[in-house]
Amino acid sequence: MSLTVLFPRWIVPVVPQGTVLEAHALVMDGTAISAILPADVARQRYANAELLELPEHVLLPGLVNLHAHSAMTLLRGVADDLALMDWLNNHIWPAEKQHLSDEFVFDGSLLAMAEMLQGGTTTVNDMYFHHDAVARAGLQAGMRTVVGASILEFPTGYGNNADDYIRKGLAAREHFLGEGLLSFTLAPHAPYTVADDTFKKVVTLAEQLELGIHCHVHETASEVSDSVQQYGERPLARLHRLGVLGPNLIAAHMVHANDEELALLARQGVHVAHNPASNLKLASGIARTAAMLKAGVNVGIGTDGAASNNSLDMLADTRLAALIAKGSSGDPTAVPAPQALEMATLGGARALGMAERIGSLEAGKQADLIAVDLGSLPTLPVFDPISHLVYAAQRNQVSHVWVAGRALVQQHKLLTLNAGQLAAKAHWWQTRISANGQGGK
């Protein structure tokens, strides 16, 4: 396969944290990064390769969205300005009961993936239903996709009970074994929707099949207080008692955690998916990310679903994560820009067990990378490209996206997905959902 050599103005490899390379080039050989070297040396050594000049751009690892419900993009704006349980019980779950299908999940996931790719996200850790549809969408988009097999105790339009959800999730995983860009997790929805026996089954299966676990944990204060009333212990303590806590667990949200719980997360190697925009919009609270990081907890960033964010903009959420960490802690040095960028890239990769393959720009790793054009007026002058990536750049400045060396976005245009077709599908679903009395106020 031919070599491609990229010549950006800056390269931000993420490791070592805060590093900025100028006058350097990155060489892609097939699916992997084969070298990062001075630009003048690269021009001599690879004169016959395909060369791409990126004169005002910064090259960095693709962003890792550590918690998303991609298909829910079709429910964007259906129910706003509500508390979590009102939002779920009275709006989202009824809408899903009406519309949940393979077609809904496939179309919604494709729409979400187009949005994410154009914003620089190359990996998504998803959690939803109709896992085959999510997987097919990921393959069509060319995006690195982690399919979370949702598990609940009660029936939905997809499954009847916990055993049914598990069976369907494992069948989907078996069907797509060998697809390099696809992997699966077991995704028990939350401690308040999953019973002890089911959590025990999940732990056993995860160990046997070497699967990750993806679960909402400590998202709201009422979740914690209700658990104390029902089980006599907080949700995290219950999960610890059941053997759920460990390096294969991604705990989404973790908004309400005390010092002892942060220490427990660190000891057990649990990863946290921080969802700053969704947490604020649903008034769930502000996660103590600065304290988590200080305690030694690995933290990545997620958008959550577009029904509760309402966008899938990882650059915006990375900025928000840095800012609210400062404001909530009273420390302007909390979560500085290089650390926030690491959370959005390598932090997510670590949580997914992919840090040896993605999350930083290093020779031998997969060529999951993006170029951001900092040459427009809102990001001039450029004294520090990392500062601009976190505090100034917008997602429409992402110009190029590669996953495993394959170009998915070029000069801002999607290469694997048809924007016009996706827009038409979104309008079709809007009409159908509105006709059922949802989506209007």
Amino acid sitting at position 33: I
DSSP assignment of 152-175 equals: -SS--SS-SSHHHHHHHHHHHHHH
Task: Give the confidence band of 438 by pLDDT, cuts at 50, 70, 90.
Answer: low
First to last CA, the chain: 54
Asked if residues 149 and 185 have their Cβ atoms less than 8 Å apart, the reply is yes
Task: List all residues 6 or more positions away from 178 whose beta carbon is below 8 Å from its beta carbon.
Answer: none
For residue 272, give both structure tokens: 């946290």
Nearest to 69 by CA among 221, 214, 168: 214
**For residue 441, what are the contacts with CB-CB under 8 A and spacing of at least 6?**
none
Per the confidence metrics, is the pTM higher than 0.95? yes
The Cα-based distances of 200 to 213, 340, 358 in angstroms read 12, 34, 31
pLDDT tens, residue by residue, 66-115: 999 999 999 998 888 888 788 878 888 788 888 899 999 999 999 999 99
Look at residue 82 in the predicted model and tell me its pLDDT: 85
437: pLDDT confidence band, cut at 50, 70 and 90? low
**Could you tell me which residues are beta bridge partners of residue 185?**
148, 212
- The separation between CA 404 and the C-alpha centre of its own chain, rounded to angstroms, equals 17
For residue 4, the one-letter residue type is T
Say if CB 378 and CB 340 are below 8 A apart. Answer: no
**Share above pLDDT 70 across residues of the chain, in percent, rounded to a whole number:** 98
Instruction: Name the CATH code of domain 63-351 (choices 3.40.1190.20, 1.10.10.10, 3.30.420.40, 3.20.20.140).
Output: 3.20.20.140
Which token pair is 241? 């008692």
CA distances from 146 to 52, 66, 238 (A): 30, 9, 26
Q: Give the chain's length.
A: 441
pLDDT at position 439, please? Answer: 56
What is the CATH class of 3-61+365-410? Answer: mainly beta
pLDDT, the chain, mean? 96
- Which residue is associated with the tokens 């105790």? 153
pLDDT tens digits, residue range 276-299? 999 999 999 999 999 999 999 999
Q: Are 73 and 115 a contacting pair, CB within 8 Å?
A: yes
Which one, of 400, 403, 426, 425, lies nearest residue 6 by Cα?
Answer: 400
351-407, pLDDT tens digit by residue? 999 999 999 999 999 999 999 999 999 999 999 999 999 999 999 999 999 999 999
Judge whether 302 and 68 are in contact, CB under 8 Å: yes
Cβ atoms of 386 and 19 within 8 Å: the answer is no
Sequence ranges of the domains in the chain: 3-61+365-410, 63-351
Label residue 333 by pLDDT band (50, 70, 90).
Answer: very high
